[in-house]
Chain A
Amino acid sequence: MAGHGLPPNAWRSIYAVNNTGYNNSPIIYPSLLENPDLQWESATVFDIGLEYGLLEDRIVGEIAYYHKKSKDVFLSISPPRYNGSGTYWDHVGEILNEGVEFSITSRNLVGEFQWTTNFNVAYNYNELVSIGGYSEDAVSGGTNDTRTVIGQPVGTNFLVRFSHVDQETGEPVYLDINGEETRTWDPKDRVAVGKVLPDAIGGITNTFRYKGFDLNFLFVYSIGGNIYDSSSKRQLGVVDEWNKTTQIFDRWQEAGDEATYAKLTLDAANLGSTTPWINTDLWLHDASYARLRNLTIGYTLSRQMVERMKLSSCRISFTGSNLLTFTNYPGIDPEIARDFENPTDRNMSPNISYLTPPQEKTFTFTINLTF
């Protein structure tokens, strides 16, 4: 329950008192409408795994599959406001979680020169099967760019589609809900777009040892997902008090320009919108990446050498983190986590970046002496 942020007494009708409510007289008012039907969620879970060892354990690994179908999932619902209540908890969702994980560790070379490789890959998927008749916008949480859409992962991007920039006028051209071109950005034209979940994530570690030397490096990767760079709508959209990114150089400036971004303007109406903060799939990017997460080079002095130095052991090493990243993602960092405090908000924004600080690059030099 804590994971959902479900408060105690969510099923009861709760009233509150304010002793100076109106005209300096007390008021009693409902703070939460009752939902007497609330009960625990239920789930059907199926897990299967296979651990294996081959060639006298030169190769070991595991294959696992899981399938979890949750019913009556607690969701914070925004019911129609004419009912006279704010958000309340209802368990209307049905969610499927499914995934496959595979790992293999291979001792490629043994003996004086040793080489070990560990590789793992995982495919994790979730899908909203049902939302009990509520609309995509009924579930609270996250920002205006993700929603709960039946047949899509929780927190899928729900956006107006951007088509292109008109070469003659510099105006953006959007697609309406039927896929027809339109000059008007209207949230009624939002559809589920992009992939909030990658096709695969994993890592590969190689470890080499030769005499006192060792070398270890870990690459992590993510393939096939999208990131919604939510801050782009201000960094590349209507001109305001925010700084622009250098991508704005690729904007329309005169008739005939073939540009990624529309003309500069202070007025959202020139971009076909009533709001300057225009969410479209123009800000949705390929988030595939491979990153050198860790690289360690070390040398362990031989017993003879440390004994001469009156030591019991000595190791010198250098470690670098996040040294290299290979990606086509144009933002700061393809490895993101939305910084909401509320778990529901985080669940609803799995692939959203909004000025998210990048992973830091670190260098560590270590001398480890044991007396």
Chain B
Amino acid sequence: MKTIKNIAFFAAVLLSITACEKILEFEPEGSSLEEADALATDDDVLKFLNGVYDVTANFLGGRAQGLADVMGDDVRAPQGNNDLMEVYNHHTTFFNTSTNGFYGNPYFGIFRANRIIEILDDYSFSASEQLRIDGECKFLRALSHQKIMELYAQPPGFTADNSHLGIVYKTNPVSGLDGRGTLAENLSLLLSDINDAIAQLPEENGVYATKDAARALKAKVLFQMGDYQNAADVVTTIINTAKYSLGNDLDRFLSGANSSEAIWSVISFVDGPLIDARSGVFTGNYRFFNNSIPLFRATTEFYNIYVADTADKRIIQFFEVQGIAPDEEVICKKFDKDYFNVPVFHLTDMKLLRAEALAEAGGDLSMAIQDVNDIKERAYGHSSNNLAAGASASEIISAARYERRIEMFGEGDRITQLKRWGAIEKENVFVRTDPWNCNGMILQFPISEKSTVFEMNPSGGCN
């Protein structure tokens, strides 16, 4: 031990250090507020509600529509954008930044709507105001869920009883792990919300949701479910209000105003230096600017269907070919503006929906023919191309589909129609080369959703 001159031994054990919780508390700085301060008054709740519209406008200003159209057959491959190429190729993965970014947005709005519904009794709104606010929340909650269902779940009719997986339909603001409902369960909740909204919303509500907005959403949902006569009846209720007209202008994406045919729109607000262009994603995707080919171009398959009909004003007004063969591209000019209001529901859609629905349901064919002809007469400026008075149901359906495809180009509609033809009408539908019901025809969820109770969509795309 003589050589060991110095030995030091030390040991320390620290157990369960729990500091005073007060130290975690800091007064929020800047414009951040705790909920009790942020939502102190009735006016605060209305601002909170406006925030639901805000987030809804964020995903309906071209994001939801763009993803749907890239999945379909009207838009060419968005080369150079890896995320969107996954969507185009019907093979998204759970790391896709673009689809994941979209997916979160409607649920932001849903959380806010659910929170408002939960706390509404705590304020001094009149009974009618409370009904309206509750109705707006349910309308926005329904619309948000419906957009996610369209992209992330197989459509109604994929299974005979819609027992296939839908999405998480949130009706409360409680965080936790939830499982996906069946599509049948989703649709039941969706229609319940919509029916409440129709009952509670006012006929007029400025730029905000109205009875007709909720009716239009209901018509689209019923149409997608193949409940054609009921869908047509809802449209008739909207049209009978006589508040909407097709007019002569083919363009319903107007800057600084709503089109006469708009039933409910996302609003872009521009006042001097203040620019709140909610239509920016449309513009960014489609605009041909400085001789630069945009990310989204029309397919030649789409263009060739319509281009020969030189009397059709739509093909002239909204489409043009740029570039030199063989590198020609069909540019869509429909969104070639700095900003515009986005009509989420409009009369053109409703008329074409009713026409096809009546024809499918064996309903009033003369009404269906008139609806199609209203659209045709605006497109041609005369009635020479109208459907004959005695047109058959199949002729009406064919005509309505033809008109719908060009009228609603870029509005995210095409893919939902293709799926309906496959799921409800049992047609042998392919989206480009992939069957309408293959695994890749719905987007993959973000990996954040995965849990022991949440089943992801099948991977591997359509292979």
Contacts and interface: CB of A to CB of B under 8 A. Distances in A.
B408 interface: no
Contacts, number: 217
Contacts of A22: 50-51, 53-54, 57, 267, 269, 276
B8 to A, nearest CB: 5
A15 B34 contact: yes
A43 B28 contact: no
Interface residues of A, number: 68
Given A21-B50, A29-B54, A275-B82, A39 B176 contact: no
Contacts of A44: 13-16
B461 interface: yes
Interface stretch (A75-83, A104-112, A327-335): A75-83
Interface in A1-34: 8-18, 20-31, 33-34
A57 B168 CA distance: 71
Contacts of A78: 448
A84 B112 contact: yes
B51 A21 contact: yes
B155 to A, nearest CB: 20
Given A27-B47, A275-B82, A17 B31 contact: yes
A45 B112 CA distance: 43
B311 interface: no
Given A24-B269, A29-B48, A83 B32 contact: no
B71 to A, nearest CB: 14
Nearest to B456: A188
A49 B8 contact: yes
A48 interface: yes
A113 B18 CA distance: 56
Interface in B240-275: 267, 269, 271, 274
Contacts of B3: 53-56
B39 A40 contact: no
A136 to B, nearest CB: 9
Nearest to A135: B450
B450 A9 contact: no
Contacts of B107: 81-84
Contacts of B168: 80, 82
Contacts of B177: 80, 133
Given A28-B39, A187-B93, A38 B267 contact: no
Given A13-B34, A15-B35, 14 more contacts: A9-B26, A14-B28, A23-B50, A23-B207, A24-B269, A25-B50, A27-B50, A40-B19, A57-B5, A82-B110, A82-B449, A184-B463, A186-B459, A277-B82
Interface of A: 8-18, 20-31, 33-34, 38-40, 42-57, 78-86, 133, 135, 137-138, 144, 184, 186-188, 268-269, 274-277
